[in-house]
Structure formats: C-alpha cells, structure tokens
Amino acid sequence: MSHLPSTPVKVPPSAATYTPATQDADLRSQINTVLLREGQATKIQERFLHSLDAHSSNWPSAIQSYALALLRSGEVSTFPALIRRVLEDVRRDSAAATAALAPSNNPPSTTANNTQTSSSSSSSSTNANESNPTKDGANGAAAVNGTSKTAGGINGTTAGPDGTPNLAIPTAVVEAVLKVVRESLEAVCDVEPDGSAGG
C-alpha cells in the first residue's frame, strides 16, 4: 500500500512543535482514521510484533513469564490488576532505559549536567521501586517459585539491579517500529508548506 490515499490528511507545519498537552485531537483522529482505512495501522502492528518476536531478548516470553510469576506469587489476583501492574513495570523500565541512554548522547561539554541527570535518574528509579514494595515478594529475599533472583531474571532475560527482569521494550525494536510509523505517516499525510518562510 505505497500509493497515496485519495484524500491525504493536511498537516500544518506547526504540528512539528506539538506536545501531548497541545496536540490537535481532531488532527490526530483524522490521521488515525486514514491509517486504519489504508491498512497502515495493521502494517505497523505486524511489524511491531515481528520485531519483538525476532529480537534476541525474547521480550514476549519474558512478559508472559513475568505475568505468570506475579499471579503465582499472589502479588496480583485479577486480570485487570495484572495488566495494570505489567504495564506500569514496562513503563518504569522503559523510562529507566531511556534515562540511562540520555547522558551518553550529550556532547562531552555537558559533563556536569550528565552527573546531575544521572543522580536524579538514580533517585527517581529508586523511588519508583520504593513505590511498589511488593514487586519482589513479601520480604524481597527470593524470586517467585524459589528461583534465584541473581540467576539472570525470568527465562534468562536481563535482570535489573534488584534481580527482577528488565521489561523495557528493546531499543532496536522501538527504532524499527518508529521507521515504519514514519513511512506510514508520510504515506497518508501531506505536510503543508510553512507560509512564514516566504514572507
């Protein structure tokens, strides 16, 4: 489906500066509608699933094992609570992974800022773990089902500092999917030229 849609969504140049607080809900709805109608949303989902399944981290299996461990330990007992907990933990680990990568992307001249960022990231990740004291079980001493928390996490996945599995979506998967999303958006959107450049 590389053809242009019959009516591409007109996107103003100002959309490049939108934030989650200032984004245009009508524009987002129009783009979503066209993405669905043109089959681009399905393409994005399929590429995402394929990238996850193909990545060496075996992320889907790690999530499944983690969810089963939460249920077996009794930390969660209902499906809504399980989904909420897994999503919270994925978001936390993804944010921590992003924060860990951010200082290395800055130029060397900002070393002082990097130190402050690292310190604040460390304290925020510590606080995130403290806000969920039951993450490691009642006493935090052993992982679920008697497995050692220092043995590499669930199913050999990368373990975090406290021995729990790292649930962050692999960076390579995110980058691959972002590329497909960009291609899909370019296929269904027509960015209007910036009128201020000529005047």
- For 174, which DSSP code? H
Instruction: Report residue 15: phi and psi, to 5°.
Output: -60, -25
pLDDT given for residue 64 in this prediction:
94
**Residue at token pair 């590389």:** 2
pLDDT given for residue 91 in this prediction:
93
Residues with Cβ within 8 Å of 89's Cβ and at least 6 positions away in sequence, in order, are 66, 135, 167
Which residue, among 1, 58, 33, has the nearest Cα to 184 in the 3D structure? 1
Q: Please give the angle made by the CA atoms of 120, 95 and 13, to the nearest 5 degrees.
A: 105
pLDDT given for residue 84 in this prediction:
96
Which residue, among 43, 60, 46, 48, has the nearest Cα to 173 in the 3D structure? 48
Per-residue pLDDT of the chain (199 residues; tens, 9 = 90+): 445 556 788 888 888 888 888 888 898 899 999 999 999 999 999 999 999 989 998 899 999 999 999 999 999 999 999 999 999 999 999 898 888 877 554 554 444 444 333 333 333 333 333 334 344 433 333 333 333 333 333 333 456 556 677 899 999 999 999 999 999 998 898 888 775 544 4
- For 38, which DSSP code? T
Own/partner long-range contacts of 117-121 (Cβ < 8 Å, ≥24 apart): 121/96
Instruction: Report residue 166: phi and psi, to 5°.
Output: -85, 115
Q: What distance in Å separates the CA atoms of residue 164 and residue 152, rounded to the nearest whole number?
A: 8
Residues with Cβ within 8 Å of 61's Cβ and at least 6 positions away in sequence, in order, are 155
pLDDT given for residue 193 in this prediction:
78
Strand partners, 165: 159
Which tokens in the block code for residue 136?
């490691």
Which tokens in the block code for residue 73?
């330990």
Q: What distance in Å separates the CA atoms of residue 171 and residue 48, rounded to the nearest whole number?
A: 12
Q: What distance in Å separates the CA atoms of residue 114 and residue 107, rounded to the nearest whole number?
A: 10
